[in-house]
Structure 1
Amino acid sequence: MFQLLPKTSSLFLLMLLIGFVDALPAAETQIDYQKQIAPLFRKYCESCHSVDDPEGKFVIDSYDALLKGGKQGPAVLPGDSKSSRLIRMVTGETKPIMPPEDSGD
């Protein structure tokens, strides 16, 4: 339980950043998906959502793929983090709750 809290908190903050990136003026946006976001996804999500055989047809290998989403539609809605499915799953507002407890170990 205690290990899940820091992981969930990190992913929640990450999702908030993703949700706000497109809402910021271009000059202020300094988030690099490949350097700052992708490493967290590789650690906690890639085992189930890689290009080879993604669960729910949801791939997390690029920002474009993240925006495209999977079977359930877009995972992230830039500028509308409260409505973004991925954020709702990470915060436990929507099931299944992500990431699973055994991810990132």
Structure 2
Amino acid sequence: MMKTFCLTLLWAVVGFPTNSFAVDFVKDVAPILQKYCVSCHAEDDAQGGLAMDTHAGLMSGGESGLALTSGVASSSRMFLMASGKLEPVMPPDDMEGPSDDELVILADWIEEGAEGPDGEMPIRRELKTPKVPTAGDVALPVTAIARSDDGTWQATAKFGAITLNNLVSGESLEVTNKLGKV
């Protein structure tokens, strides 16, 4: 009880908040690293020699030495740089960095011993694309065209619709499906 109180008091004095739950690397820490760090610090292109896309890469450090001190967030370079307490601040170039809540998770994880995943780490890369609304009057692109062997019919496919044209008579028939599948 006294130890918990002292640690909480120490964190309050040093300026690092704390959570009261166990932090899981895969569920809690890896998404933060993926969001802010891995674009520059992945095994394929590890700037400064520091790969942060795996626990092993993070724990082995980079060209400047170890990135974190297991059990001591206040002396872990990765945490100090992410929290703006050590230069160079990461992420660089006025890019968005971890929120206060995310910094608490990182600090707690380090304080708890910076344990890694049990077994293989799942692939967590997700393509992030902006949502761009389309205008209602935009013509759908043609995705496929086919003609009958005798040249009488032509089928034109667009998303959610197929148009059949009789090239001899000029008749046309459009088949659509509200679910986008024909």
TM-score (norm: length of structure 1):
0.64
1:64 is matched with 56
Q: Could you tell me how far apart the structure 1 residues matched to 2:83 and 2:32 are? A: 16
The 8 Å contact of residues 33 and 62 in structure 1, kept in 2 or not, is answered as: no
The match for 1:102 among 74, 95, 100 is: 95
Q: List alignment gaps of at least 5 residues for structure 1.
A: 1-11, 18-28
2:26 is matched with 34
1:73 is matched with 65
Q: How far apart are residue 103 of structure 1 and its match?
A: 5.0
2:41 is matched with 49
Size of the aligned set, in residue pairs, is 81
Cα deviation code 1:49-73 (max 9, x no counterpart): 0111111010112222212110111
Q: List alignment gaps of at least 5 residues for structure 2.
A: 1-15, 98-127, 129-182
The 8 Å contact of residues 34 and 62 in structure 1, kept in 2 or not, is answered as: no
Say which structure, 1 or 2, has more relative contact order (CA 8 Å, 6+ apart): 1
The one-letter amino acid of 2:45's match is: D
Cα deviation code 1:24-44 (max 9, x no counterpart): xxxxx8432122111111111
The 8 Å contact of residues 68 and 76 in structure 2, kept in 1 or not, is answered as: yes
TM-score (norm: length of structure 2):
0.39
The one-letter amino acid of 2:95's match is: D
After superposing on structure 2, the runs of 4+ consecutive aligned residues of structure 1 that deviate more than 2 Å are 29-32, 100-105
1:89 is matched with 81
Q: How far apart are residue 77 of structure 1 and its match?
A: 0.4
Structure whose CA Rg is larger: 2
> Partner of 1:66: helix, strand, or coil?
helix
Compare the two structures and name the one with the higher helix fraction. Answer: 1
The aligned runs of 1:1-20 (5 Å cut-off) are none
> Partner of 1:88: helix, strand, or coil?
helix
RMSD of Structure 2 on Structure 1 (CA): 2.6
Compare the two structures and name the one with the higher strand fraction. Answer: 2
